[in-house]
Chain A
Amino acid sequence: MARLELQHVCKGYDRPILDRLSLTVEEGEFFVIVGPSGIGKTTLLRCIAGLEVVDAGRVIFGGRDVTRVPPYRRNAAMTFESYALYPHMTVFENIASPLRARRMDEASVRKAVLEVARLLRIEQLLDRRPHEVSGGQKQRTALGRTLVAKPDVYLLDEPISHLDAKIRHELRRQFHTLQELRRVATVYVTHDYAEALSLGDRIGVMGDGGLVQVGSSREIFERPNSIFVARHLGQPSINEVPCRLSRDGGALTLRSLEGSLSFAMNGSQRTILEKVRGDVLVGIRPQHIHVANGGSTRQIDNARVEAFEALGATGVLIAETGGVSLTVLTSPEENFEPGQPVRLGFDVEQFLYFDAVHGRNLKA
């Protein structure tokens, strides 16, 4: 059993970074932690690795309490964001390093290193130094060093953040297929939500002090438990429209606080918002607004184009309606000029509603 457990882990420097954080990552699970820069993701990894000592709480590897065990005895393996490759050693020696620590015999070392190098397709670089190989190759060397160690838990700190898009894509694919990572628990940290959604069995969204939501990628994307989570996942970012509920007659309407945008609430939407007092922050994902051609049953509004970017596979349109600027995903083949009038259709059933004060998802 190689499950990783964190129980009420606390860590702070001049301010608290991890506040009673608890987490269990099962054996074989690929857990991704996503969150903004500086929130404490690396601190969390370092606490699991043993490079930092926790102020309170426990860290448990497969039933073994390692809270007070130094990193060189924890049997965790970590790839650093900066790769941390030894500059004065060859790629071979870098990868072999954990085995050297265990004083393994030369023949076994060679065998293990070659195996990993072949797996990562860097076997032709073994005699080079780190400064002689490319970024992607450095990353694979760092990964090789962790794989060869056969640790009790894998910790990957933004391993592909600093590589260009194509290589990132290829390496993401490799993460999917590496069976070795499925042997024990893996914790993968990134600030790129797309990576998170793609790679993670489960995702933990990290906010101030700890994990604000944990779940599958689908859960997190479709049912974010707060505006913070919703805001963090999605490119372009979710549209946020602060609104007020008005009940005149029997109709329940959401009116935007700025401008004159309004949405009529019917059916299931109405049930959700019936009991709410106070203001509501409405979250509308760009893909839930459409440029309407012809008739449709959805709510339609007149809008004016502010800006348009054609980005390869999609188009991003910024349009203003009722005094509110909204971002809309369109097809890239459109041709919008600033000032041009458009009609926007809204998938009101897909709207997300958040409590204006605490940011909590009202649908949950």
Chain B
Amino acid sequence: MTAATSDAATAPAVAPDWFAQKRRRGNLIVNPLVPWVMVGLPVAVLVAIVVYPTIWMAYHAFQDTNMMSLFSGNWTFVGWQNFATALTDDRFLGSVRHLVRYLLFGACLQVLLGVALALILYECIKNNTVRVTLLILLVLPMMLPPSIVGVLWKFLLQADNGGFNHLLINLQLLPANQRIDWLGTRLSLWSITLVDVWQWTALPLLIVYSGRVSLPPAIYEAARVDGASSWLVLRRITLPMLKEVIAIAFIIRFMDAYKFVDHVSVMTQGGPSESSELPVYIAFQKGIREFQVGEAAAQAWLIFAVAAVLITLFLKYMKRVLKAQAIA
């Protein structure tokens, strides 16, 4: 047998030459270009359908584009005027107030309800078949087309012969001769919120439920052995471990809710008399119906900018909280 040679008997104190001038050698398996092409295709599509509109909107937000100027190509630079108009427009500001109420009593409530319902479902119902059946039933609203849900509730919330009022009467929650004008000026926004809660509570419910299912059972057994009460277990074990999941559910709902106008479109069209208008809806109307493109662009950007900032802040806050928790 021939002798083998080995050069590196002891570790070199200084990095050897070949390592110091090492370039990225890539790999032998695929041509390095291939992955970039694979990613490039979808990225190109996204650039076309997202980046292009974004830039377009950013540009026109500073122009006075409207129907005529759009097709003729004559628009003029107006600086921050569109933004100023939007921020001083009572109608727009009103819609922002509506949005805050809508998110507070909509998305936030949904997350709270979703968590509560998910945990009740998981902890209080032990029979797996029953549990799964109930889960399916509870999650059903999320699967339905929002426009149909809107139509359905429009039907139910009719003041005179709507099913919802009469259900309340039958349940003795409403005097027989009274009718609540759900879609009237006073309550239209609350009705929209109600429908939102009806349809979308299922999403946080599903997310938190999935999260709860995937928690390690060993901790619960240990807690049981230690004799911890259910309330304690809930407070000290379940909720802290689900913090991340709940936060994600909240972000997802928030991200979807602030731009969601299907229900408004179908049920109230923002009315009556602007009582249920949301900012995105106004932007839509301005842009597609009134062709006030410049103003619509400014509004859209305002909405998006605020939402992006809020989401980013929330994400940063969550990262900090979770990092602290991970260390602990």
Direct interface between A and B, CB < 8 A: yes
Docked complex: A95-142 residues within 8 A CB-CB of B: none
In this assembly, does B9 line the interface, its C-beta being within 8 Å of a C-beta of chain A? yes
Report chain A residues within 8 Å CB of B4: 22-25, 202, 204, 211, 214
Answer whether residue A8 sits at the interface, using C-beta atoms and an 8 A cutoff: yes
When chains A and B are docked, how far (Å) is the Cα of A208 from the Cα of B18? 16
- Select which of A12, A15, A26, A71 is within 8 A of B1 by beta carbon: A26
Are B6 and A214 in contact, CB atoms less than 8 angstroms apart? yes
B231 contacts the other chain (Cβ, under 8 Å)? Answer: no
Is B214 interfacial (CB 8 A cutoff)? no
- Of B24-32, B81-89, B257-265, B300-308, the segment with at least 4 beta carbons within 8 Å of chain A is B24-32
In the assembled complex, the Cα of A15 lies from the Cα of B19 at a distance in Å of 8
Q: Which of B8, B9, B16 is A226 in contact with, Cβ under 8 Å?
A: B9
Is residue B11 within 8 Å, beta carbon to beta carbon, of the partner chain? yes
Interface residues of A in 27-59 (CB under 8 A from B): 29, 50-56
In the complex, whether B128 has a CB less than 8 A from a CB of chain A is no
By secondary structure, the B interface counts as loop
- Contact at B19–A12, with CB atoms within 8 Å? yes
B289 close to chain A: CB less than 8 A: no
Which bucket holds chain A's interface residue count?
35 or more
- Does chain A have a CB within 8 A of B2? yes
Contact B6 A210 (CB under 8 A): yes
B2 touches A19 (CB 8 A): no
B:1-21 near A, CB below 8 Å: 1-12, 15-16, 18-19
- On whether A19 and B29 interact (CB within 8 A), knowing A10-B16, A24-B2, A55-B18, the answer reads no
B323 interfacial by beta-carbon distance below 8 Å: no
Indicate the member of B6, B10, B16, B27 with the most A CB atoms within 10 Å.
B6
The answer to whether B28 touches A50, judged by C-beta atoms less than 8 angstroms apart, is yes
A156 to chain B, nearest CB (A): 19
B29 — which chain A residues lie within 8 A by C-beta? 51, 70-71
**Neighbouring B residues of A23 by C-beta, 8 Å:** 4-6
Q: How far is the CA of A308 from the CA of B10 in the complex (A)?
A: 36
A12 to B15, CA, bound (A): 10
Q: Give the chain B neighbours of A25 by CB distance below 8 A.
A: 4
B10 touches A201 (CB 8 A): no
In the bound complex, how far is the Cα of B19 from the Cα of A10, in angstroms?
A: 8
A213: Cβ under 8 A from any B Cβ = yes
- Given the interface pairs A16-B16, A55-B18, the reply to whether A208 lies near B8 with Cβ below 8 Å is yes
Q: Which residue of A lies closest to B5 (CB)?
A: A22
CB distance from A306 to the nearest CB of B (A): 34
Interface status of B22 (Cβ within 8 A of chain A): yes
A22-B3 Cα distance, complex, nearest whole Å = 11
Interface string of B144-163 (1 = CB under 8 A from A): 00000000000000000000
User: Are A358's CB and B10's CB within 8 A?
Assistant: yes
Interface size range on B against A: 20 to 34
A19 CB contacts on chain B under 8 angstroms: 7-8, 12, 16, 19
Given A12-B19, A70-B29, are A20 and B7 also a contact pair (CB < 8 Å)?
Answer: yes
Q: Which residues of A contact B19 (CB under 8 A)?
A: 10, 12, 15-16, 19, 55
Which listed residue, A29, A202, A209, A225, touches B8 by the CB 8 Å rule? A209
Neighbouring B residues of A26 by C-beta, 8 Å: 1-2
A16-B16, A29-B1 as given contacts; A209 in contact with B28, CB under 8 Å? no
Q: Which residue of B lies closest to A206 (CB)?
A: B6
Are A213's CB and B16's CB within 8 A?
Answer: no
Cα–Cα, bound, A56→B23 (Å): 11
CB-based contact B18/A21 at 8 Å: no
**How far does the Cβ of B56 sit from chain A's closest Cβ, in whole Å?**
44
- Cα(A70)–Cα(B29), bound, Å: 6
- 0/1 interface trace, chain A 322-364, chain B, CB 8 Å (1 if under): 0000000000000000000000000000000000001000000
Check if A56 sits within 8 Å of B18, measured CB to CB.
yes
Task: State whether the Cβ of A182 lies closer than 8 Å to any Cβ in chain B.
Answer: no
Q: Does A212 contact B (CB under 8 A)?
A: yes
Contact with B along A288-310 (1 / 0, CB 8 A): 00000000000000000000000
Q: A residues within 8 A CB of B2?
A: 24, 26
Q: Bound state CA distance, A15 and B27, in angstroms?
A: 18
Q: Are B22 and A55 neighbours in the complex by a CB distance under 8 Å?
A: yes
A333 to B14 CA separation, bound complex (whole angstroms): 52
Beyond A16-B15, A29-B1, A201-B1, is A70–B8 a contact (Cβ under 8 Å)? Answer: no
The residue of chain A having its C-beta at the shortest distance from the C-beta of B4 within the complex is: A214
Q: How far is the CB of B166 from chain A (nearest CB, A)?
A: 56
Determine how close the nearest CB of chain A comes to the CB of B6; give it in whole angstroms: 4
A12: nearest chain-B partner, CB-CB: B19
8 shortest interchain CB distances as A-B pairs? A210-B8, A208-B11, A209-B8, A211-B6, A70-B28, A19-B8, A20-B7, A214-B4
A-B contact pairs, 24 of them (CB 8 A): A16-B15, A16-B16, A16-B19, A19-B8, A20-B18, A22-B7, A23-B4, A26-B1, A26-B2, A52-B27, A53-B26, A55-B22, A55-B25, A69-B28, A71-B29, A207-B9, A207-B10, A207-B11, A208-B8, A209-B11, A210-B7, A212-B9, A214-B4, A225-B9
